[in-house]
Amino acid sequence: MNMNILRITLLSFFFSCQFVNAQTNTVLFTVDDAPVYTSEFKRVYSKNLDLVKDDSQKDIDNYLDLFVKYKLKIAEAKALGMDKKPTYLREFGNYKSQLAKNYLNDNKVTDQLIEEAYQRLLIEVDANHILVKIDENASPKDTLAAYQEVLKLRGRAIEEGFDTVKKDIHNGQTLFAEELGFFTAFKMVYPFESAAYNTPVGQWSQPFRTQFGYHVVWVKNKRDNRGEVTVAHIMLTDDKAGQTAQNRINEIYTRIKQGDDFSGLAKQFSDDKSSSANGGKLNTFSSGQLSSKIFEDQAFGLQNINDVSKPFKSEFGYHIIKLIEKKGIEPFDDLKSELNNKIKRDSRSKVINDKRIEKLFKKYNVSLDNADLSPFVNILNDDFFSSSWKVPANFKGDKVLLNIGTKQITQIDFADFLLKSQRRRQAKIPFDKLVKDNFKVFVESHLQSYQEENLEFENEEYAQILTEYRDGLLLFDLMENEIWNAAKEDSLGLENFYLQNKENYFYDVRVDAIVASSAKKKHIKKVAKQLSNNKSIDIIKGELNSDKEINVSFIVDTLEVNHQALPKGLDLKTGVSKIFKHNDAYSVVKIENILPKTLKSFEEAKGSVVSDFQEEKEKEWLLKLAKKYKVSINKEALQQVKTELK
């Protein structure tokens, strides 16, 4: 069984059994003296039957072996005190606090959300991200697998760099590693936006989830928002009639300086056909909306209306830009209404705060009318309004004022609240009203804090996600210390491992080839003939393609025989192949050279060697754990489990 699958399987055990009342179940086995119950194992087994492909893994004895190994890892992590480390506790606490906001029926009062959105609008964030894509309604095991994958990729990005990871994993389908450029509030889904704004420049965020899957984001830079601009441009992309595009753009720029109309020149010369008819005018844009950072920087660099840039080159050609309009971020008061409307449509505000409070009163059966508030009216005086009032020394306050769930709130709790609340500026009002008003705030605050404190016991989804992070973080630290750093610390052992197993690391048969593809068979027939006559690709392109029409495309590379551009069963011999239909197009291949199966050097195979070396280390480590911890299996309980699961 692949060790990555094994890790996922073992971790998923814990996440699928959070709400089992262990005291009512039979002990299946113990790790030292810590019991593990049959109900937990049965739930795990049933939920993960489809995770493994090998039928032998569905055998209960084999599955129990995996389950025991998982419990051994948990025991080892705790024995090492990794769950007590300040860095672990701090990271977990921050995540828990952030996660809870998504499950408390209200993230912030609407005004707080508006203020947050405006402050974020003032700042642009430049970020890269890694995404492990999963369906929004993915199963717990798929969710866990995605989470573990992104956590490992985060570690790789920190160690190896984003570009290395991007080159290795990005496939645009299930794994994404992308440079996003600059963006601001409302441009990304709210969890992504929050992670980007809350992560310091130069750091990677912790994993977080959106409807697309699990992400980590690296914040490259933050800057003041540049607002929006509207520009017109003239773009030249090709050399024509013996004159380079650069020379022609310089000539056009000279004519503009001489007073020629920019709009007319755009209509006559610009190669951007989507804007040339409109005098080169583009839609208004803000930072991050265009795919060219060079173009954006030039546009935002223009200061005054009708200013014209000097000619410059972007990824798409040569340009001259004219500024039509430039707007900064409007004042808060002018945007407040618009932001309020956006927030109502945004994931920020699912339920406003007063609705949440209303539900909590009903949920915990709490009433403001049942408490006796007269003792507090009696101990107040006018010192309260000058923030100098103190709770009288003879006020005992040991009577229970109200109950919220299992929590008792005493009189002294409210008296202390009044003591602190006088720091807030309050109008002078009758003491009975002051007490009543403050008591309402006091109870609402305790309702919210009680809900948050007990959220893990009231919301199964929250508890599962929290547990996923808690133990995922713990086991990640454990595996990193015990296994993943082994290769970095044991370079000699890594090379010896390669030498002992180098026959496992090889390049399969490859070909140096030219692959031509076209939607029309007639074009490929011409290409096949030209390739047979040893005509160059440039000559062939010149005959079949033009500025306005591309009839044939080429790949020139060293390709493995299973490359997507090559058909299955391709006759591996030098020369020009028969014409074949592949991937809904007609293709022909010219094989220049055939490279036989060859062993990879240590450097070429290093990625696979490290993975296999770590797998071997993990096997040895698990044997040590099995000797360190005493595992006692209840054979009668195991037999009962087998009977029930048949």
- pLDDT tens for 85-142 read 999 999 998 888 888 877 875 545 678 888 999 999 999 999 999 999 998 767 668 8
Q: Cα–chain-centroid distance for residue 217?
A: 6
Please give the pLDDT value at position 139. Answer: 67
Do residues 445 and 366 lie in contact, with contact meaning Cβ atoms separated by under 8 Å? no
Q: Residue 388 in 3-state DSSP?
A: coil
| Between 486 and 55, residue with greater pLDDT | 486
pLDDT band at 373, cuts 50/70/90?
very high
Query: 251 is written with which tokens?
Result: 């000539």
Please give the pLDDT value at position 584. Answer: 83
**What amino acid is encoded at 175 in this protein?**
L
CA 54/CA 63 separation, integer angstroms: 12
Do residues 608 and 10 lie in contact, with contact meaning Cβ atoms separated by under 8 Å? no
CA 497/CA 616 separation, integer angstroms: 10
Please give the pLDDT value at position 132. Answer: 96
> What is the pLDDT averaged over residues 389-403?
93
131 - beta bridge partners? 176, 215
Q: Cα–chain-centroid distance for residue 603?
A: 31
Do residues 244 and 237 lie in contact, with contact meaning Cβ atoms separated by under 8 Å? no
Place of tokens 């929006």: 228
CA 151/CA 215 separation, integer angstroms: 9
> What is the pLDDT averaged over residues 509-515?
92
Read off the pLDDT of residues 197-229 as tens digits, 9 standing for 90 and up: 999 999 999 999 988 999 999 999 999 998 999
**Could you give the percent of the chain with pLDDT greater than 70?**
92
CA 418/CA 391 separation, integer angstroms: 9
CA 598/CA 574 separation, integer angstroms: 19
Helix (H) / strand (E) element for 516: namely strand 510-518
Please give the pLDDT value at position 361. Answer: 93
**Cα 599–Cα 600–Cα 604 angle in degrees, nearest 5:** 175
| Between 242 and 256, residue with greater pLDDT | 256
Q: Residue 321 in 3-state DSSP?
A: strand
Q: How many CB atoms lie within 10 A of CB 514?
A: 19
Q: How many CB atoms lie within 10 A of CB 307?
A: 13
Please give the pLDDT value at position 486. Answer: 73
CA 51/CA 65 separation, integer angstroms: 16
Read off the pLDDT of residues 252-285 as tens digits, 9 standing for 90 and up: 999 999 998 999 999 998 999 899 999 999 999 9
DSSP assigned state of 482: I
pLDDT band at 319, cuts 50/70/90?
very high
Maximum C-alpha span of the chain: 108
Specify burial of residue 203 (Cβ count, 10 A radius: 0-12, 13-18, 19+).
exposed
Q: Residue 347 in 3-state DSSP?
A: coil
Please give the pLDDT value at position 292. Answer: 87
Please give the pLDDT value at position 3. Answer: 40
DSSP assigned state of 348: T
Q: Is the pLDDT of residue 342 over 60?
A: yes
> What is the pLDDT averaged over residues 40-62?
74
Provide the H-helix boundaries in 401-520. Answer: 411-421, 431-453, 455-458, 460-479, 486-489, 491-501
**Could you give the percent of the chain with pLDDT greater than 90?**
56
> What is the pLDDT averaged over residues 464-492?
82
Question: Which segment, 6-20, 313-327, 445-459, is predicted with the most confidence on average?
Answer: 313-327
Place of tokens 């074009």: 523
> What is the pLDDT averaged over residues 434-450?
93
Read off the pLDDT of residues 590-643 as tens digits, 9 standing for 90 and up: 999 999 989 999 999 998 999 899 999 999 999 999 999 999 999 999 999 998
Q: Which residue from 188, 98, 204, 189 is spatially nearest to 152, judged by alpha carbons?
A: 204
> What is the pLDDT averaged over residues 60-71?
89
CA 157/CA 129 separation, integer angstroms: 10
Helix (H) / strand (E) element for 194: namely helix 190-198
Please give the pLDDT value at position 352. Answer: 57
* Sign of the C-alpha dihedral computed for residues 39, 41, 43 and 45 taken in this order: negative
Mention every residue, 6+ apart, whose C-beta is less than 8 A from residue 512.
Answer: 557, 558, 591, 592, 593, 594, 595
DSSP assigned state of 207: P
CA R_g for the chain: 33
CA 299/CA 285 separation, integer angstroms: 10
Mention every residue, 6+ apart, whose C-beta is less than 8 A from residue 609.
Answer: 494, 497, 498, 501, 505, 602
Q: Residue 360 in 3-state DSSP?
A: helix
Label the pairing between strands 123-133 and 175-183.
Answer: antiparallel
CA 372/CA 436 separation, integer angstroms: 10
Do residues 314 and 234 lie in contact, with contact meaning Cβ atoms separated by under 8 Å? no
> What is the pLDDT averaged over residues 227-255?
88
Please give the pLDDT value at position 42. Answer: 86
Do residues 198 and 97 lie in contact, with contact meaning Cβ atoms separated by under 8 Å? no
CA distances (Å), origin 237, targets 29, 269, 274, 465: 72, 11, 14, 51
Please give the pLDDT value at position 427. Answer: 64
Do residues 605 and 505 lie in contact, with contact meaning Cβ atoms separated by under 8 Å? yes
Please give the pLDDT value at position 344. Answer: 76
> What is the pLDDT averaged over residues 40-60?
72
Q: Is the pLDDT of residue 9 over 60?
A: no
Q: Is the pLDDT of residue 235 over 70?
A: yes
CA dihedral 364, 368, 369, 370 (to 10 degrees): 50
* Sign of the C-alpha dihedral computed for residues 524, 525, 526 and 530 taken in this order: positive
pTM, two decimal places: 0.44
Q: What are phi and psi of 586, to 5 degrees?
A: -95, 135
CA 95/CA 87 separation, integer angstroms: 12
> What is the pLDDT averaged over residues 334-361?
79
Do residues 476 and 483 lie in contact, with contact meaning Cβ atoms separated by under 8 Å? no
Q: For all residues of the chain together, what is the average pLDDT?
A: 87
DSSP per-residue codes, 218-231 = EEEEEEE---EEEE
Helix (H) / strand (E) element for 191: namely helix 190-198
Give the lowest-confidence range in 40-44, 371-375, 376-380, 388-392: 40-44
Q: How many CB atoms lie within 10 A of CB 459?
A: 16
The count of C-alpha atoms lying within 13 angstroms of the C-alpha of 127, restricted to the half-sphere facing its C-beta, is: 28
pLDDT band at 7, cuts 50/70/90?
very low
